Structure 1
């Protein structure tokens, strides 16, 4: 081993660059965040060859004084924090003072800037970490950073860059996220001399939906719920996609903490749990969410590239996110938003918003107050219809009243198709309902409500079950004894690395208790709380609801069909069944006109 000696500054910066600069998108992120911290309202990003050849970022921010330019490309020099107290309450996107020197150490870098009120702009160039003298330049107010030949002096790193299209795609995705987070800022993105994206600044509240459409597509605003909730010093706002507008990939999930796009396991866990009861297996929710809290309650200094954060009150944040989203999704009642309707024969478009409608007790049809047992018996009655494609009711029997405000959201039943679908007419057009999926959700929600009213009942095991754990997990069982008891478990430590299960929740009889206990302990260790019991119980209730719901090929009378529609309107999450499938579809008159080419 040779003697210990300090590393050269250029090598120090290159090591830092290995942590901060992964690809061109990392460079764009650091440069644009500096622009935003400088108060920019217009940011232009130009790339060549996916950013490998050139990355140029211009802004109209406050600019940098000439004498500060050498410091701007020096390690750990910043204007954003001055003390440890500032580090505890970071309110800017950048603060480490390492981004520019790291970028400059692995590229041919130039920074031109002009402060507001100054007559002259100034420029500094850095080649492979070696800075040159500051010289006069021409530039409007603001700054321009140029990064050429990224990783030219690190061939091994350059080989890890992907295809030009892939690298540009990463840049475009990140710019989209910032366009969502900072709607008041104009963003322009160009690649190889061609304009690709132009997000105009949002100046009025009603223009915000247009920014959403520009970034995520025209269908997203209408297929999402607006969230706005504050409690315990936390504020959550944004949009969450309807369960029926889920996606095959997690490619439209944007979560910002105090304006910073982050990937956080605690957040992901809370969102996944909120959607667990309504999302189809293997599908992913779409959302754009913004969490705001006191900067002192979140540590943004846990990752070199600032992709992750650590909440000082993680359990509080998790519970706040889950409850807010769960309550919002619970309001996705059938009829509350327009169901999917065909824009063309071969395509389906997402739901669009419909006006809110609060049902009154008068004139809603039959069966509104029927008990669950009577209702299940009512819908379960009737012969199978294997050969009967349509059971049609005369229009006169429906008795739709005049005036849109007097028609319930799901309207009144017209017919039954193949013993599977209920056809109804509402103020907007035609409604199609999957009667088994709808009744399954209704039964499931009633079973959950009944369980909540009774609390978690437990029972003694005839033969106590021994579960092997790590010593740390066994310690946790002792420390959280009352938490397990509240969940219906009685766990007693029987050794350094084992516990004995003496009592379990009644509803979990027949479940894999050993594995469930391990999962509960893991949740408590990581998140401070668990919903494993509820989730496992819900799975059992969902099975019961599925087997207890009305089956296909059952003939329903007109009052029975209308009773089902009224129950759907009154039941939480009735827009989709227990497995996440849609329970109803709206075909508006305009959709039907297009389908039959009327008016052409």
Structure 2
């Protein structure tokens, strides 16, 4: 007897669902896509327990009659295409006819729908892929889909889902991204009956950038465009000064479909080129509109991936659009965002942060620190207000002032959290901070962790918070930018112990608390910074791993100038 057999239809459905439904956010995306394809101008989403408990998506779209409602849960039943040729002229977001059957196969689902011309609608109930009932009901025009108990019949899949907070974060992030190209549609997301995103119709995508990127970044993005035969590019570029350590704010859309595409990602990075430090990613929105015949969206069931027939040409076009936009004056970072020198040198931590010699130093310039090996040194000067040059008996040393101060600040912070906790400085007048919707949701979850680090934030409605106190090191900082970088790190590691902050958190804090390149230092300040660096446990590297000092021995210098035989 042979060993190959045809799978049962139930098994086939669950395998197909595994390709389409990765997590609750996948369901939200598929249902929103259906609502948009149905011509909806208002889409409301409610989630509970990160979408694992309940997902409800309602719209005011075309709606479905009874027969279409029954067909909608059949695999590969769709209103979008009817022939192979139409696969290459797709403008709709959905077309495979897999979303609703896949969702119904792994959950308990109800679909209530009514076309505007009908006086009543119908409600279809499905559980684990089986139709339980269909009844005539009174309901408003449009469609409402409610999904409960995701993966109730696949416990092995359910255990791979993350915690409620993580799954909620994925949905919040997806919801904000989906809303950008459809500026005429009203989107609302409720989490546990609390509205966290409310995007009213607006004049253009740019109006929604502050909600997605935060006020500072969103309001300062530069628009650029490029039109070619069969292809048009419209992009909004964030300043390199707002670059992030992750690429999650590079948003790419092809024919209004959000995609993850390596070719386009590479083009964006090439366009920014040397304006970005290694390991930093810009905040960018790119809308690419191409002839559907030049685009293959039938690559993966989740429809995240695409293939571009003229990939090389489009790659070069995106680079050109980036460089065209960046060639103009990108909005400079305001002076009050880049902390002035006085904030880093004269505010808080009166010993080390103000470049005063550590207490165990004698006044002479010669004593080595605990972690260093410098004996005597003499400051020669400051190069381009970035590097400190000093002479030692061994030769010439060149120190990166920002990297060096990062190391000093990092160890000062680490020591303070490891003992009595950070010295906190309250504001006389609390500062009002406006965050993106995603960042605000994350900050709300991490208020206790931030308080343990010395930051007192108070919700003030919507995505606004009042900052009441900070560690005394931080006198004048771009707070929105700082918290947007710090909070995701806190979320990765769980709550922060009151006496021990994670290395990642302290590294970010040290980076924002350290002086920057371009700050002029006096002779005494340079002397004190060198002394402080060599009193740390690892003076050779900053917390990110970059070198703080390069040494050139007398022998090396003599070889360079051919003075040695």
TM, length-normalised to structure 1: 0.56
Matches within 5 A, 1:542-561: none
- Residue in 2 aligned with 1:341? 335
Q: State the shift of 1:163 in Å.
A: 0.6
- Residues 132 and 419 of structure 1: CA distance in aligned 2, closer, same or farther (over 3 Å): closer
- What is the CA–CA distance in structure 2 between the aligned matches of 1:419 and 1:262, rounded to whole Å? 45
1:15-164 pair list within 5 angstroms: 15-164=15-164
Q: 2:458 matched to which residue of 1?
A: none
User: CA offsets per residue over residues 118-157 of structure 1, 9 Å max, x none?
Assistant: 0001011111000134211221100001110000000000
Q: 1:302 to 1:274 in 2, by over 3 A?
A: same
* Contact 2:239–2:331 under 8 Å retained in 1: no
Q: In 2, distance between residues paired with 1:283 and 1:63? A: 45
CA shift, 1:276, in A, is 1.9
After superposition, where does 1:24-423 map in structure 2 within 5 Å?
24-202=24-202, 204-205=203-204, 208-332=205-329, 337-342=331-336, 420=384
User: Could you say which residue in structure 2 is the equivalent of 1:8?
Assistant: 8
Change (3 A) 1:215 1:131: same
Counterparts in 2 of 1:131 and 1:345: CA distance versus 1, 3 Å: same
Query: What displacement does 1:99 show?
Result: 0.7
Kindly state the Cα deviation for residue 212 of structure 1 after the two structures are TM-superposed.
1.1
C-alpha distance in structure 2 between counterparts of 1:265 and 1:343, whole Å? 32
Query: What stretches of structure 2 of length at least 5 have no aligned partner?
Result: 343-378, 387-399, 401-517, 522-565
Mapped to 1, the partners of 2:58 and 2:337 lie a distance apart of 42
Q: Distance in 2 between matches of 1:69 and 1:325?
A: 45
Looking at structure 1, the residues matched to 270 and 331 of structure 2 have their Cα atoms a distance apart, in angstroms, of 23
Between stretches 216-225 and 299-308, larger displacement belongs to 216-225
Aligned-partner Cα distance in 1 for 2:275–2:337: 25
Contact 1:179 1:215 in 2 (8 A): no
The 3-state SS of whatever aligns with 2:320 is helix
Deviation at 1:167, TM superposition (A): 0.2
Distance 1:309 1:327 in 2: 26
Deviation at 1:73, TM superposition (A): 0.5
Supply the RMSD in Å over aligned alpha carbons: 2.8
Match of 1:589 in 2: none
Change over 3 Å in CA distance of 1:320–1:130 after alignment to 2: same
Could you say which residue in structure 1 is the equivalent of 2:350?
none
| 1:136 to 1:347, Cα distance in 2 relative to 1, 3 A | farther
Partner of 1:291, secondary structure, is: strand
Sort the Cα spacing of 1:325 and 1:67 in 2 relative to 1 into closer, same or farther, 3 A.
same
TM-score between both structures, scaled by the size of structure 2: 0.60
Judged with a 3 Å threshold, the aligned counterparts in structure 2 of structure 1 residues 339 and 191 are, in CA distance, closer, same or farther, namely closer
- Residue by residue over 1:144-177, the C-alpha shift from the partner in whole angstroms, topping out at 9 and shown as x without a partner, is 0111000000000000000100001001111011
Deviation, 1:8, is 2.5
Note the residue ranges of structure 1 that are not aligned, 5 or more in a row.
349-385, 389-417, 423-435, 437-549, 554-600
Cα distance in 1, alignment partners of residues 280 and 308 from structure 2: 28
Structure 2 distance, partners of 1:346, 1:419, is 19
Q: Is the 8 A contact 2:244 2:282 kept in 1?
A: yes
Is the CA contact 2:64–2:143 (under 8 Å) kept in the aligned structure 1?
Answer: yes
Distance 2:135 2:304 in 1: 35
* Higher-Rg member (1/2): 1
Deviation at 1:419, TM superposition (A): 7.7
User: Are the aligned partners of 2:113 and 2:143 in contact in 1 as well (CA < 8 Å)?
Assistant: yes
Residue deviations 1:336-357 (CA, integer Å, cap 9, x gap): 6344311596899xxxxxxxxx
Q: What whole-Å deviation, never above 9, does each CA across 1:485-535 have from its counterpart, x for those lacking one?
A: xxxxxxxxxxxxxxxxxxxxxxxxxxxxxxxxxxxxxxxxxxxxxxxxxxx
Is this contact kept in 2: 1:223–1:245, CA < 8 A?
A: no
State whether residues 91 and 295 of structure 1, in contact with CA within 8 Å, keep that contact through their aligned partners in structure 2: yes
Q: Contact 1:23–1:161 (CA<8 Å) still a contact in 2?
A: yes
Q: Distance in 1 between matches of 2:107 and 2:227?
A: 45
Number of residue pairs matched?
358
**For 1:31, what is the secondary structure of its paired residue?**
helix
